[in-house]
A and B are shown apart, each in its own frame.
Chain A
Amino acid sequence: MNLAVYRVILRTQLSPARLLVLAGLSGVAILLAFTARASDDTVEVATRTIANFGINIFAAFIALALGSAALGNLVEDRTLVYLWLRPVSRHSIATAAMAAVVTVVVPILVVVMTVAAVITGVGELVAATAVATALAAFAYSGIFVALGLRFKRSLLIGLGYIAIWELLMSRLGDWFARLSIRSYPMSILSDATDVSMRLADRSTLASYIVPLAVGLAGLLYTSWSLTRTEID
């Protein structure tokens, strides 16, 4: 990883508008946690809240907003040339971009959602939430960094992907669920609290390995794309 590139991309990650959205989503997460705590079936409601909001919405959207912008903004405003013209490997640029996104997305998501899990009062959910949200954030970041480099309207495409595939199609059956990212970290939550969710049958190991593999695949695709793409 190239530290100079990492620092440059990291500085572009937290704009005031994004901070505002992050604060808003964090506030909603805390509010939902209190609501879950006050419910009759705290374990089930808390698990579903963390899964549906923390992974389906918070993790996916924050990773999309920051991931697609990491290299996507440089492509869009034609400044990628100032990184690309240097004698540094394309892989180190891709890794720096991914690291910059993960540096912001993972801690924010893990801290906020773990605090939310603590607020619900469901002890067995706390560690599972930390791990599940971290894995979801990593997987989504890998995909959306690649998407930002590859497509000009990556934010729109990413929104479409989250809404249509992750939130809709993945509920239609076992195979669809297997091909969605959300179901893997969600199954970690499900295993921890024994709350049944409509997820594909899979081994516990797969729940940990697949999100990591997806994130790494996104990173490799970004590296490969950087070597092939024509810089404007």
Chain B
Amino acid sequence: MVQAAGVSKWFGDLVAVSDVSFSIGAGVTALLGPNGAGKSTMLRMMCGLAKPSNGSVTVLGKEPRSDVAVLGRIGMAPQQESLLDHLSGQEFVELAANLHHLQRPAESARQAIQTVELDPDDPRRLSTYSKGMRQRIKLAQAIVHDPLVIALDEPLTGLDPRQRREMISLFHRLGSEGKCVIVSSHVLDEVERFGSRVLVMAQGRLAAEGDFREIRNLMDDRPLRISIRTDQPRELAIALLDRGVISGCRLEGTDGVVVDTNDAAAFRRAVAPAAREQDASLRELRPLDDDLESVFRYLVAQ
């Protein structure tokens, strides 16, 4: 449904997206990457809001930048919080329905607003909406016309855990209805719940692509430094060395040890049995370089 072929986008000297190619079909696809990775720019090009400097983006075989008609099959919730604040939620979504030439715009808008669990009869202006409500009304305007391709830029920001669960289940429902749902996020754990297909972007490039579990394994294969707090750091470090799951260690104070591992999955499996064997109590396990930036830097280097 969505195809990018050798897409690059630069703004003056700044390269936002560099030679990215992929193909996305029906279902939920997560676009994962740290802030500034080029995710929003990529989504904007998919929706025709920006023109690629090089390469091409097609949606349902058409270029959204030049073919206005294809915008009728695309729904997008942009990242920015700003809305047409002088309108009510119903008016805002109804405007979208009108511009999509729906036959019963008021009714379609009500339905979309109810889908995202807001009240269509709420007369308040959008300027009074909370961050979570703004996110949901953006989603409502993106789905009001029942589009085939739905691009959502960081749609879970500002939602509470229950709302997140419900939104994710909505994404899955839309995906299972045969729609192409592309959801960008910079939160790794969030993406894990979106679905199986992931595109990882870092520094404007497509760093990895495929099933989330494969990506997770790739991430687990990288060298990782972990801080362990335990009452028996020396004994636990020796036990882990004996099991061959760490490549080095350094004691820190009386209750800490920092270990290096090349196999995070094996380490995770081994650490609890090793602690039990040494009768050591584990107080804290904290990856020292597990922030997204380092994960993505590693993936780019691969």
Chain A residues in contact with chain B, CB under 8 A? 2, 4-5, 8, 11-12, 77-79, 81-90, 230-232
Contact sample, A vs B, 24 pairs, CB 8 Å cutoff: A2-B99, A4-B99, A8-B87, A8-B95, A11-B86, A11-B87, A12-B86, A78-B80, A78-B82, A79-B84, A82-B83, A83-B99, A85-B47, A85-B71, A86-B96, A86-B100, A87-B101, A230-B44, A230-B49, A230-B50, A231-B44, A231-B49, A231-B50, A232-B49
Verify if B72 is at the interface (C-beta below 8 Å from A): yes
CA separation between A81 and B43, bound complex, in Å? 13
Verify if B68 is at the interface (C-beta below 8 Å from A): yes
Verify if B98 is at the interface (C-beta below 8 Å from A): yes
Which residues of chain A come closer than 8 Å to B50, judged between CB atoms?
Answer: 230-231
> A7 — nearest CB in chain B belongs to which residue?
B95
Q: Is the CB of B68 within 8 A of A82?
A: no
CA separation between A88 and B50, bound complex, in Å? 17
Q: A-facing mask of B42-84, CB < 8 A → 1, else 0?
A: 0010011111000000000000000011111010101010111
Q: Is the CB of A79 within 8 A of B74?
A: no
Which residues of chain B come closer than 8 Å to A231, judged between CB atoms?
Answer: 44, 49-50
Given A4-B99, A81-B76, A82-B95, 13 other A-B contacts at CB below 8 A? A2-B99, A4-B98, A8-B87, A11-B86, A11-B87, A81-B80, A82-B141, A86-B96, A88-B68, A230-B49, A230-B51, A231-B44, A232-B80
Q: Is the CB of A82 within 8 A of B96?
A: yes
Which residues of chain A come closer than 8 Å to B92, judged between CB atoms?
Answer: 82
- State the Cβ distance, B26 to closest chain A Cβ, in Å: 21
> B87 — nearest CB in chain A belongs to which residue?
A8
CA separation between A55 and B163, bound complex, in Å? 56
Known A4-B95, A78-B82; judge A86-B87 contact (CB<8 A): no
CA separation between A231 and B80, bound complex, in Å? 12
Known A5-B99, A78-B80, A231-B44; judge A85-B86 contact (CB<8 A): no
CA separation between A107 and B87, bound complex, in Å? 25
Which residues of chain A come closer than 8 Å to B47, judged between CB atoms?
Answer: 85
CA separation between A183 and B249, bound complex, in Å? 84
CA separation between A86 and B74, bound complex, in Å? 9
Which residues of chain A come closer than 8 Å to B71, judged between CB atoms?
Answer: 85-87
Q: Is the CB of B96 within 8 A of A81?
A: no
Q: Is the CB of B95 within 8 A of A85?
A: no
Q: Is the CB of A86 within 8 A of B99?
A: yes
Rank and list the top 6 A-B pairs by shortest CB-CB distance, nearest first.
A86-B99, A87-B72, A4-B98, A231-B49, A87-B71, A230-B50
- State the Cβ distance, B71 to closest chain A Cβ, in Å: 5
Which residues of chain A come closer than 8 Å to B87, judged between CB atoms?
Answer: 8, 11
CA separation between A83 and B83, bound complex, in Å? 11
Most chain A beta-carbon contacts within 10 A, residue among B48, B70, B78, B92: B78
Which residues of chain B come closer than 8 Å to A89, judged between CB atoms?
Answer: 68
CA separation between A90 and B65, bound complex, in Å? 12
Q: Is the CB of B68 within 8 A of A90?
A: yes
Q: A-facing mask of B136-147, CB < 8 A → 1, else 0?
A: 000001000000
List CB contacts (< 8 Å) of B105-160 with chain A: 141
Which residues of chain B come closer than 8 Å to A81, judged between CB atoms?
Answer: 49, 76, 78, 80
- State the Cβ distance, A81 to closest chain B Cβ, in Å: 5
- State the Cβ distance, A225 to closest chain B Cβ, in Å: 14
Most chain B beta-carbon contacts within 10 A, residue among A5, A78, A88, A230: A230
- State the Cβ distance, B124 to closest chain A Cβ, in Å: 16
> B95 — nearest CB in chain A belongs to which residue?
A4
Q: Is the CB of A85 within 8 A of B76?
A: yes
CA separation between A210 and B68, bound complex, in Å? 33
